[in-house]
Amino acid sequence: MTRLHGVSALVAGYVIACSSIGWSIAAISISGLAERHDSKMILLGMLLLLVSILGFVYSVPVGPVWLIALFALIEGAGFGMSWTFILRRVTYLADSNEQERVAAAMPTIQRFGYAFGAAYIGIIANAVGLESMQQGDIITVARTIFLACLPFALVGSIAAIRFVLPLKL
């Protein structure tokens, strides 16, 4: 953001922090919802994640910075809306003798996702020219890294739908 939009590192940090703020606001706002809302919150969270990725595809390369911050808030809200309800549903669906183990494994799976995602995006960014740091390359990298997230977001959305809807065989 500093090279693309001429903002300071501090402003870029605030924009990135919007994701955490969105997560916190959403999680706190809906934390008391009854279990019957779990499916809706999981699906709505995934929809917000898809919207945010599409928004980043546009806004990160061309701006304005406030729009990038808005999509960061939306991204965080998507995670904040869905994560607690995913945890609750996974724990509920597990066998009673496996519930503790399943609940304990979820943060590990989450961290694996972060690590895998960071490595994947690093590879994509380097493959499309991040290290050259030419202005045109930075725009290409900015767009490409978010486009590269779309297949995973689509797979995640399909998985979320399958996770919350009854399976009919």
Domain presence at residue 139: yes
pLDDT of residue 138: 80
Place of tokens 């903002």: 7
The rounded distance, in Å, linking the Cα atoms of 8 and 30 is 34
**pLDDT for 169 beyond 50:** no
- The torsion defined by the Cα of 25, 122, 7 and 9, in degrees rounded to 10, comes to 80
Taking residues 12-32, report their average pLDDT.
94
Q: Is residue 89 part of a domain?
A: yes
Averaged confidence pLDDT in the chain:
88
Q: Is 144 inside a domain boundary?
A: yes
Q: State the CATH number of the domain containing residue 87.
A: 1.20.1250.20
Number of folded domains in the chain? 1
pLDDT at 135: 60
Residues 58, 4 contacting (CB under 8 angstroms): no
Domain encompassing residue 118? 2-164
What confidence tens digit (pLDDT) does each residue in 79-117 have?
Answer: 999 988 998 888 888 888 888 888 889 889 889 988 998
The Cα angle at residue 80 between residues 79 and 84, in degrees rounded to 5 = 100
Q: Six-digit token pair at 123?
A: 């590879």
Residue 129 lies in a domain: yes
- pLDDT category at 168 given cuts 50, 70, 90 is low
Ramachandran assignment for 129, one of left (phi > 0), alpha (psi -120 to 50 degrees), beta (any other) = left
Neighbours of 46 (CB within 10 A): 25
Structure tokens at 14: 């605030």
pLDDT at 6: 87
pTM, rounded to two decimals: 0.85
> Does some domain include residue 51?
yes
CB-based contact 57:3 (threshold 8 Å): no
CB of 54 within 8 A of CB of 42? no
- Give a yes or no: residue 68 inside a domain: yes
Q: How far apart are CA 62 and CA 6, in angstroms?
A: 12
Instruction: Give tens-digit pLDDT for 52-80.
Output: 999 999 999 998 999 999 999 999 999 99
Q: Could you tell me how many residues make up the chain?
A: 169
Q: Which residue has the higher pLDDT, 51 or 135?
A: 51
CA distance 11 to 2: 9
Q: DSSP assignment of 145-158, as one string?
A: HHHTTHHHHHHHHH
- Domain presence at residue 169: no
